[in-house]
Chains A and B, each alone.
Chain A
Amino acid sequence: MWFYLFASIFIFLETAFFNHFQFFSVKPNLILLLVTIFSFYFNFDKLKVVLFCLFCGFLKDIFSIASFGTHMFIFSCLGISLSYISQKFLRYNWIFIIPLFILATIGQGVIYVAIQDFFFGGDLSLASLPWKTLILEIIYGLVIFFIFFKVIKRCVIDRLL
């Protein structure tokens, strides 16, 4: 429940608050950060992960010009993959959230380009991935992660696990 509340607050911060604090026209992807943290800590319950990712994708979709369903699809693919990776290969150490978040950000771009190619037949290809935007998104996301992670962990994760 706490994570759902965080997601609902974060979407408003992302769309209305962080526009004033853009870093080279890029704002932090708070929802993706939340999806990564959730998939990492709740990797034992895939159903929970998919439902949370669907909710986050739904929020992102209704506040974006992208076709409805795009982010729901992207986030649940990422959620399943990240929880699988963290369950099989990683230990419960928060430091592993960093490579997972980097992977999630790049994965998000790749899936988005693939969806565009598949459904809308655009001239988009992996070569046209917005690398600059993705790298800035990773940097800004990690800065926010270091600022807020301890708060989220102490208030929510430690109580839930």
Chain B
Amino acid sequence: MANKNKTILLFVVFVIVTFLLIKSPQTSSLPQKIALNLSRLPLKLVGLSLIPFESAVNFNRILGEATLLKKENQQLKLYLMQLQEAAAQNSRLRELLGFKQSSPFALVIARVISFDASNIRRSLVIDKGRNYKIRIGNPVITSDGMVGVVAEVGNSASRILLISDTDFSIAAKVKRSNAIGIISGSLEGVCKLKYLDLDDDIQRGDEIISSGENSRFPAGIPIGTVTDISKEQSGLTVFAVVKPKVRLSALEEVLVIINY
């Protein structure tokens, strides 16, 4: 009986404490920050242990990819030379016209070391943090498009909130028609472009890009493609289901924009 009372008391105390913790996310995130720093090495070890195994299984595919990449690399080198020439010309012309030189993105390349422990939340941990000048709110991309935003920063690791998470939301637009909405995730991990007007010009296959109106993300970063369009339950607005350009569940490396 005493044991039963003790259990009930413990449970009640625990419910109150967890309610307080959940209610104040800023103060309660301390254990998560500590874990972010401490778990970097074991997570990296567990993740890296699979690389030789994966390489052996996918040997033929990797070989084919390497050949293709070599060819692409040569083409890109040529293209880079042309671009450098164009950039130099652009710079000279800007100087002549008196424009301020626009600074390019400052990027940090980071390796993904783990994903969220829950299946209904979408985040990942990268192996770079404050040491590389990464700050909360920095946009995260790959060469294909948008990945998410930095949500927590430790000294040597950071947690990224993915675009498919329920807490993510930024302004985005339809590239073809400039119709503006808010892109956010859902519990199922599906991205939706919400709050579009009923008469907005949007159709399946349209490309969605960041609008730049939210200062967190530079404009023009590809987000995904429209796969479906439906009316909201209220009937006042329309939402589009967006398939992300980046395969979020299979990310290995990402780029963090630390300055733009």
In the complex, what residues of B have CB within 8 A of residue A112's CB? 120
In the complex, what residues of A have CB within 8 A of residue B116's CB? 15, 63-65
Question: Is A122 a contact of B50 with CB atoms below 8 Å?
Answer: no
A36 at the interface (CB under 8 A from B): no
> Whole-angstrom distance from the CB of A70 to the nearest CB of chain B?
6
Given A47-B10, A124-B187, answer yes or no on A68-B25 (Cβ-Cβ < 8 Å): yes
A102 at the interface (CB under 8 A from B): no
In the complex, what residues of B have CB within 8 A of residue A80's CB? 11
Interface size class, chain B: 35 or more
Interface residues of B in 3-17 (CB under 8 A from A): 3-4, 6-7, 10-11, 14-15, 17
Stretch of A22-30, A90-98, A149-157 that contacts chain B:
A22-30
Chain B residue at minimal CB-CB distance from A109: B120
Number of interface residues of A (CB under 8 A): 52
Interface residues of B in 156-180 (CB under 8 A from A): 159, 161, 165-167
Question: Is B249 a contact of A16 with CB atoms below 8 Å?
Answer: no
Question: Is A17 a contact of B46 with CB atoms below 8 Å?
Answer: yes
Question: Is B113 a contact of A128 with CB atoms below 8 Å?
Answer: no
> Whole-angstrom distance from the CB of B129 to the nearest CB of chain A?
16
A/B interface sample: 15 pairs, CB < 8 A: A12-B46, A16-B113, A19-B114, A31-B117, A47-B6, A50-B7, A50-B10, A54-B14, A62-B39, A63-B39, A65-B121, A71-B117, A113-B187, A130-B188, A133-B119
A interface list, Cβ under 8 A from B: 11-17, 19-20, 22, 25-27, 29, 31, 45-47, 50, 54, 58-73, 76, 80, 109, 112-113, 115-116, 119, 122, 124, 128-130, 132-133, 137
